[in-house]
């Protein structure tokens, strides 16, 4: 969804639908933590966020329990050229080899920054999660499934499969 700040700047707004968090669903928290201090030309910029939490009675495993109901809005810089997927799958996009090379190297620089400087493993990199700005500069987006790595780790192993098959 597109929004406009009071000063006239366009932003992209990602609405996380109301959810009842009974387990370890830290998807929103994870995305905010990963992006709060990230500053790189090839990573989408988090502008701000808003989280509202309410307690609500819900049924869980046959019992009524109190659960936190979250509503969240994440605000990002607006990137007018959409996802890389659109440009790769559209025959009329006309990306020449120099532009494709620039995009590939931009994604590589963004991943290098995330992994080596910020200790973040993205875990769902695909053309739909690479957004393009007005100069066709690629920016890595969608950090729902990302993981923060500890200082002593350079990789993460998971038994729970998530993301795009």
CATH numbers and ranges of domains, the chain: 2-148 (1.10.510.10)
Tell me which residues are annotated as active site: 124
The predicted structure's pLDDT at residue 164: 58
Write the pLDDT tens digit of every residue in 70-85: 788 889 999 999 999 9
Q: What is the mean pLDDT of the chain?
A: 82
Write the pLDDT tens digit of every residue in 117-154: 888 888 888 999 999 999 999 999 987 776 666 555 55
Average pLDDT over residues 93-99: 83
The predicted structure's pLDDT at residue 98: 92
**Range 30-65 burial, b when 16+ CB lie within 10 A, else e:** bbbebbeebebebbbbbbebeeeeeeeeeeeeeeee
The predicted structure's pLDDT at residue 22: 44
Q: Phi and psi dihedrals of 24, rounded to 5?
A: -105, 45
The predicted model scores a pTM of: 0.76
Looking at the chain, the whole-number percentage of residues with pLDDT higher than 90 is 42
pLDDT at 96 exceeding the cut of 50: yes
């Amino acid at each position: 969804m597109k929004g406009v700040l009071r000063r006239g700047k366009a932003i992209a707004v990602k609405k996380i639908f109301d959810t009842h968090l009974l387990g370890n669903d830290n998807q929103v928290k994870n995305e905010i933590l990963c992006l709060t201090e990230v500053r790189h030309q090839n990573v989408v910029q988090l502008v701000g966020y808003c989280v509202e939490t309410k307690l609500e009675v819900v049924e869980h495993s046959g019992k009524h329990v109190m659960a936190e109901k979250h509503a969240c809005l994440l605000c990002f810089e607006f990137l007018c050229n959409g996802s890389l997927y659109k440009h790769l799958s559209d025959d009329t996009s006309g990306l020449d080899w120099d532009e494709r090379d620039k995009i590939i190297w931009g994604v590589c620089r963004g991943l290098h920054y995330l992994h080596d400087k910020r200790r973040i493993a993205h875990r769902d990199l695909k053309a739909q999660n690479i957004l393009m700005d007005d100069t066709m500069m690629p920016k890595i987006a969608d950090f729902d499934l990302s993981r923060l790595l500890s200082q002593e780790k350079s990789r993460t192993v998971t038994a729970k499969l998530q993301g795009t098959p």
